[in-house]
Amino acid sequence: MSEPAPKKFKSENIPDVSERFSDNLFNSTSVEEYRNAYKQSEPYKHAVIPELFNKDFLLQARKELLKLSFKEKETDIYKITQSGDFSNIHLLPEEERKELPTLLTLRNTLYSAQFRRFLRDVTGCGPLSGVKTDMSTNNYGSGCHLLNHDDVIGTRRISFILYLPLPDPAWEAHYGGALELYPLSTPLTDPTTPAPKPTVSIPPSFNQFAFFEVQPGHSFHSVEEVAFHPKLQFKTVDGGVGQRVSISGWFHRPVPEEEEYEGPQPELTKSSLEQLYAAALRPLGSYDDDGLKSVVEKLDASEVTELEELVNPVYLDTKTIGLLQNKFLEDSHILLTDFLKEDIATSLKELVKNRDDEDEVTRGKRVLRNDYGTSYKIPAHPTGEAGDWKLVGPPHVQRYVSLTKQDTEGDLFGRVNKLFSSKAFRALLSILTSSVPEAHLIESRRFRPGLDYTLARGEKSSSETSRLDIGLNLTQSDDIWKSGTVGGWDVWLSGEEDSDEATYGAGDDDGPLLSLAPEFNRLHIVLRDPGLLHFVKYVSTRAMNSRWDVTGEWITRFL
């Protein structure tokens, strides 16, 4: 039995709002061109309208929207300055509403039946609600960004972005802030995981309108960091040079009171929620034997000999170990500064510096200046991929360059990896934490400025599994890293299992339980109980160099 034909629009009842849009947008030739471009687009169906609205109309709306109050928001996945949802702008007190007449008209025009029909004709997406509106203004200033996600929440059907940086001077691509679209990693075998690199980048420009159909596990996208820092005289209150202003939102499926309501539909879940409480992204390795039976009380001579090849001898001293053990029992974490022997640490410091210099990742080699300010060039996505160092994803969970061959004797990072996976190091962990470390996952990582991060992960509160997060930071740290303004910090915080993001920094009650700035040759050992989340903050283009570490997580038993 064939499906019933969808209800048709009654064109005689659709008000004509075309005068507010760019010329000829709705004529049949234009619609056909956008439809064909949409069908042929990759990595998934999307379209870009270079000029959506009448320019004077949009400039006036822009002036009004910047009268709205904005609030800076930061989570593990984004840093933005955002207005409240102005879908209900018509409900504002009359005096406030009088200040925003063009903005109200813009909202009504965007969700008008005529424009919704245009979107439906171009995309073939099905009916769109004219009742449920969902839009806000985002002001992406210097350092703002939005990491990889697929927009899947509730009844969303079409995502859109209307760009409003000032038309003069025009936004330049190296300012950042581009919309990035990601293909699937392996479409045939893994059709819901994005590849670590985008294949389409859409720089913002005034009056440009980008849109795509929301598709679970497919419509993955991000907003590149705004890397432009305007001179003081251009930091205007009306969103001048360096402000990537936009209106973004969604068109939803029709609601029950609308004629084209499609009946009850399964609610789309928040795609980010599952990643918050995901287990390790790769299988954890186990030790060759059947594991320890009890907590180690003391290192034996062979273990000391093995550890002292790389480890600062002070941390192999019985008295020091006892003090650290007590500290861990009190605080559930300990920090071991100058963990590696001086000669090993010196060689590693030189190694990471040389690699950053060779790849032109250091900030001094990424500076671009013009009459209006300075931008810090974002490295190309393949930067750092060489030899056994490969790009790791998936980007809706993490992205960085990782050493894939963990036991390379001739490589200093390989030697540290081998140390971490040794039974001697497990014995040291057992003493320090009064637990029995079992399965483990260890890797060397490089976080490149303007590209890399991990998003929050942890065990559900109902889990009975505790983990040890262990990291040896090898970043050339400086005051900029320590200030917290360029990211790269390790962060632990309490998770909420009904939320799809890890919010932090909003106040003492909502702040992290522990935050650690990058610091060269410092080892942290942190107990992550069920319900706690851990992530590495996105590394900003303003960072002086890459963030390097050797890190691991261990499932551990407390007897």
Tell me how far apart the alpha carbons of residues 369 and 516 are, in angstroms, rounded to a whole number. Answer: 32
Q: How does residue 275 score in pLDDT terms, banded at 50, 70 and 90? A: low
Let me know whether 311 and 222 are in one domain: no
Residue 164 belongs to a domain with what CATH number? 2.60.120.620
189 burial level (CB within 10 Å; 0-12, 13-18, 19+): exposed
Q: 466 or 391: whose pLDDT is higher? A: 391
Average pLDDT on 496-515 reads 62
**Domain boundaries, position 320:** 297-558
* 423 inside domain: yes
pTM > 0.95: yes or no: no
Say which range, 200-209, 227-236, 543-552, has the weakest mean pLDDT: 227-236
* 289 inside domain: no
Type of residue at 297: E
pLDDT of residue 559: 80
* 192 inside domain: yes
pLDDT of residue 13: 62
Last residue of one domain, picked from the residues 252, 283, 317: 252
Say which range, 9-13, 261-265, 546-550, has the weakest mean pLDDT: 9-13
pLDDT of residue 253: 95
pLDDT of residue 12: 44
Let me know whether 154 and 28 are in one domain: yes
* 287 inside domain: no
Residue 347 belongs to a domain with what CATH number? 3.60.130.20
Type of residue at 45: K
Q: How does residue 122 score in pLDDT terms, banded at 50, 70 and 90? A: very high
pLDDT tops 90 at residue 25: yes
Average pLDDT on 233-260 reads 81
pLDDT tens-digit profile of 163-216?
A: 999 898 889 999 999 999 999 988 766 778 899 999 999 999 999 999 999 998
Kindly report the backbone phi and psi dihedral angles of residue 9, in degrees, each rounded to the nearest multiple of 5, phi listed first: -70, 145
Beta carbons of 196 and 399 less than 8 angstroms apart: yes
Last residue of one domain, picked from the residues 193, 223, 252: 252
Give the containing element (helix H, strand E) for 165.
none
pLDDT tops 50 at residue 506: no
Average pLDDT on 410-418 reads 87
Q: How many CB atoms lie within 10 A of CB 303?
A: 19
Instruction: Concatenate the DSSP letters of all residues of 256-287 into one string.
Output: TTSTT-----PPBPPHHHHHHT---SSPPB--
Question: What residues contact residue 456 under an 8 Å CB cut-off, 6+ apart?
Answer: 76, 275, 276, 493, 495, 501, 502, 533, 534, 535
pLDDT tens-digit profile of 30-59?
A: 999 999 999 999 999 999 999 999 999 999
Let me know whether 308 and 243 are in one domain: no
Tell me how far apart the alpha carbons of residues 153 and 270 are, in angstroms, rounded to a whole number. Answer: 5
* 529 inside domain: yes
pLDDT tens-digit profile of 445-486?
A: 999 999 999 999 888 876 778 899 999 999 998 899 999 999
* 271 inside domain: no
pLDDT of residue 407: 58
* 279 inside domain: no
* 13 inside domain: no
pLDDT of residue 297: 92
What domain count does the chain have? 2
Type of residue at 497: E
Percent of the chain exceeding pLDDT 70 equals 88
